[in-house]
Amino acid sequence: MHITRRDALSALAAPVFASKALAQTGLPEIEKGPFDGTREGLKAYQIPEWFKDAKFGIWAHWGPQSAAEDGDWYARRMYIEGEDQYKSHLERFGHPSKFGFKDICRMWTADKFDPDHLVSLYKKAGAKYFMSMGVHHDGFDLWNSKYQPRWNSVATGPKKDIVGMWKKATEKQGLKFGVSEHLAPSYNWFGVSHGSDKSGPFAGVPYDGVDPAYKDLYHELPPDYKIILTGMGGSMTQASDEWKREYFLRVKDLVDNYQPDLLYTDGGMFYGDVGARLVSHHYNLNAKHHGGKVEAVYTSKRRNECDTGTCVFDIERGVAEGAMANAWQTDTCVGNWHYKRGMKYKTPKTVIDMLCDIVSRNGNLMLNFPLPGSGELDAEELHILDEITKWMAVNSEGIHSTRPWKTFGAGPAIVSAPVTNTRFNENNRKDLTADDFRFTTKGKSLYAFSMGWAGKEAVIPSLALGGKYEVPKFHNVELLGHKGKLKWSQGAAALKVELPEQKPSDYAVAFKIALA
């Protein structure tokens, strides 16, 4: 018997509630534990040590939109007349009134997907956690979804439990497992699928989103719904109560099935207490399996939600102003979020510079390697990954399990943009050179990363004896990856280090300094 999404949702139409207040939410109970489902209660949350130590994670922002191999937001932009993806879709597949996103979903094969191989590569590159996408704005669930029974990766496309396969491979490698959800904006983001061309031979012909046979993918929108072509497609206020409830149930289903160490939301805690209840459930379920201690992470892109407990602040494609008091995370990509043929990627130097810079500021870097529809990394991605692997083999000691020093860095590329304007600032940042330094500490060691090779001598004014940072007298200076002893001197003007003829790394090099 075919079970529709409406059937699945209706099965929980009248759950047993613990209180009248809970019943009014129309949501089932959450797991019992340290958190009560309120935002106020979440302020007691503390970031676990494993996340503070990890510093580097890798993400597969991979789903049915990757089948088109035409970049970000394909499922939305293919329905916006004039967009590049609309034009490309028209040429490759036909008009979206006839060949829509539902058909792109069926094209996604994942025929070369080998998660064991991929996660083993990521571990060698120094990643301490891996994150699978769970569901993007396109509303296609990457697991055997209870509340999206037709448009999920087990029923359609690959016919595989993508999240489950990633989790198994990640745990096999001993890494922490994360999953991302981007579901809440879908109600507005996907509204364009209900529109039509304004000009040309198909002017006025509705796109396939209006077909009631596919409302479980494209949403059933009310008559007064306003299609907005810019941004995410409008404010969250357009979302119906039924959609908010479905959002809760689907994300809860994801958490219940895979119990991720890290849950990433593309935004923050949506829909008032609905989001707070989801986060509380995530933490409580994790505590149940860790002797009452919460070892889980939830990330939010809303800084005000993370200032006091609650969650980890995530900055999309950006870097914080300085060393933040709480551990935080940058999420960025070597190219587009979804795979795009012919995309120019970040260079290995750019990635490694970002890693050192972010870690010096008390952050983690979560880096997306977008997979094509097949699920196999392309040659350039493999090259970038290999360069990170070689660099980490020499320098990871100054990255993993470190903490910030008295200042995160020094040099001409120090950025002083306000913290509130950090999103999407990565392209505005200056290139780092041998005159730029980034600092981390671990135990009785200070690590000074020179962000290039100075040639004969490295001069670090910030590490002068005494001075602004009250620098103590150093006992020894080593260069990670170099076996011989170094000639160095520490005076009132700078720490000066005579460099060997052979550089140990092609990118940033790390001096390990004994503080005591």
Containing 497, the helix (H) or strand (E) segment is strand 495-498
C-alpha to C-alpha distance for 61 and 463, rounded to whole angstroms: 40
CA 231, 72, 219, 16 dihedral sign is negative
Question: Which residue from 237, 221, 217 is spatially nearest to 138, judged by alpha carbons?
Answer: 217
C-alpha to C-alpha distance for 448 and 510, rounded to whole angstroms: 6
> Cα-flanking dihedrals φ and ψ of residue 289, to 5°?
-100, 5
Looking at residue 304, the DSSP 8-state letter turns out to be H
Residues 190, 117 within the same domain:
yes
Residues 437, 385 within the same domain:
no
Any idea which residue has 């039924």 for tokens?
242
C-alpha to C-alpha distance for 510 and 513, rounded to whole angstroms: 9
CA angle 419, 424, 427 (to 5 degrees): 110
On whether residue 298 sits in a domain, the answer given is: yes
Any idea which residue has 């009785």 for tokens?
444
Residues 333, 466 within the same domain:
no
Residues 357, 434 within the same domain:
no
Residues 383, 463 within the same domain:
no
Residues 344, 414 within the same domain:
no
On whether residue 74 sits in a domain, the answer given is: yes
On whether residue 402 sits in a domain, the answer given is: no
For the chain, 516 residues long, give each residue's pLDDT as a single digit of tens: 445 565 555 544 333 223 333 333 578 999 999 999 999 999 999 999 999 999 999 999 999 999 999 999 999 999 999 999 999 999 999 999 999 999 999 999 999 999 999 999 999 999 999 999 999 999 999 999 999 999 999 999 999 999 999 999 999 999 999 999 999 999 999 999 999 999 999 999 999 999 999 999 999 999 999 999 999 998 887 888 999 999 999 999 999 999 999 999 999 999 989 999 999 999 999 999 999 999 999 999 999 999 899 999 999 999 998 899 999 999 999 999 999 999 999 999 999 999 999 999 999 999 999 999 999 999 999 999 999 999 999 999 999 999 999 999 999 877 544 444 577 788 877 889 999 999 999 999 999 999 999 999 999 999 999 999 999 999 999 999 999 999 999 999 999 999 999 999 999 999 999 997
Q: What is the pLDDT of residue 59?
A: 98
**CATH number of the domain that residue 293 is part of:** 3.20.20.80
CB contact at 8 A, 329 and 311:
no
On whether residue 135 sits in a domain, the answer given is: yes
Q: What is the pLDDT of residue 17?
A: 29
C-alpha to C-alpha distance for 55 and 47, rounded to whole angstroms: 13
* Amino acid making up residue 242: E
Burial group, residue 5, by CB count within 10 angstroms (0-12, 13-18, 19+): buried
C-alpha to C-alpha distance for 494 and 502, rounded to whole angstroms: 23
Residues of the domain holding 472: 409-514
Choose one of 339, 367, 394: the last residue of a domain.
394
Choose one of 339, 371, 394: the last residue of a domain.
394
C-alpha to C-alpha distance for 455 and 376, rounded to whole angstroms: 39
Question: Within 240-344, where are the H helices?
Answer: 241-258, 273-288, 303-306
| Helices 273-288, 241-258: inter-axial angle, 10-degree rounding | 10
Q: Which two tokens stand for residue 504?
A: 């140990």
Question: Which residue from 129, 127, 123 is spatially nearest to 48, judged by alpha carbons?
Answer: 129
C-alpha to C-alpha distance for 52 and 287, rounded to whole angstroms: 18
On whether residue 251 sits in a domain, the answer given is: yes
Residues 70, 203 within the same domain:
yes
CB contact at 8 A, 508 and 395:
yes
Choose one of 369, 394, 419: the last residue of a domain.
394
Residues 343, 486 within the same domain:
no
Question: Which residue from 357, 321, 405 is spatially nearest to 508, judged by alpha carbons?
Answer: 357
Question: Which residue from 327, 459, 350, 331 is spatially nearest to 404, judged by alpha carbons?
Answer: 327
On whether residue 221 sits in a domain, the answer given is: yes
* Amino acid making up residue 168: K
Residues 379, 506 within the same domain:
no
Residues 463, 376 within the same domain:
no
* Amino acid making up residue 205: V
Domains of the chain: total: 2
Residues 193, 307 within the same domain:
yes
CB contact at 8 A, 472 and 448:
no
On whether residue 42 sits in a domain, the answer given is: yes
**CATH number of the domain that residue 483 is part of:** 2.60.40.1180
Residues 458, 381 within the same domain:
no
Q: What b/e sequence results for 353-392 when a residue is b if at least 16 CB atoms lie within 10 Å of its CB, and e otherwise? A: bbbbbbbbbbbbbbbbbbbbbbbbbbeebeebbebbebbb
On whether residue 342 sits in a domain, the answer given is: yes
